[in-house]
Amino acid sequence: MSDEFDFLSEPVLAAGVDEAGRGPLAGPVFAAAVILDPARAIEGLRDSKRLSAAQREALYGEICAHARSVGVGCAEADEIDRLNILRASLLAMQRAVAALPERPRVVYVDGNQLPSFGVPAVAVVGGDDLLPAISAASIVAKVSRDRVMDAFAERYPDYGFDVHKGYATARHLDALRRFGPTPIHRRTFAPVRAEADEPTLFSDV
């Protein structure tokens, strides 16, 4: 963190960064980076977890239409297994910032962990409810990941990914016991690892 920057002032070309999907047993972890346009305010930005799915979708459209820049990155399940979930989440953040059409002057990251972005960066605990750019990033990351999990639900219809998005619900755990892990499951996560040695329907696991 650099004392040169005051996160409350949120200067132009400041990118907010947040991730979605650290906890699930399956699917990628996503991150988004957003540079807001001060001339085009977006009402209702807040932590994505405090919004309904319909609210997130509506705000996602507003952010994509009115933000100055939006970048999205992810790390896949095999990367999560190889790196661990924390390092994979930081990698997804780096990819999101790299995907921005323009280079930010400073990056504000929700939480207390910072990857290297090649520009000054500030960790902001609770930033998804403090800084609008981080709130916007949390919404973009969540909606982007949910859409990917909806697509996986069509590929693996027995698991209910469109409902629980890969989290360890009773339905998901029951599907793991009955059918075994899919190729998108995080095999280093304990509930998946417990079933990984059992016969599976998927030959590429």
Per residue in 51-92, pLDDT tens?
Answer: 999 999 999 999 999 999 999 999 999 999 999 999 999 999
Residue 41 in this model has a pLDDT that exceeds 90: yes
Work out whether strand 14-20 and strand 29-35 pair parallel, antiparallel, or are unpaired: antiparallel
If pLDDT is split at 50, 70 and 90, which confidence band does 196 have?
confident
If pLDDT is split at 50, 70 and 90, which confidence band does 203 have?
very low
Contact 188, 173 (CB under 8 A): no
Q: Domains of the chain by range and CATH?
A: 14-153 (3.30.420.10)
Residue 62's H or E segment, with its range, is helix 53-66
Residues 6+ away with beta carbon under 8 Å from 32: 17, 18, 20, 70, 71, 72, 73, 96, 136, 137, 138, 139, 140, 141, 144
CA nearest 33: which of 77, 67, 56, 75? Answer: 67
Per residue in 149-191, pLDDT tens?
Answer: 999 999 999 999 999 999 999 999 999 999 999 999 999 999 9
Per residue in 125-142, pLDDT tens?
Answer: 999 999 999 999 999 999
Spatial separation of the C-alpha atoms in residues 185 and 158, rounded to whole Å: 14
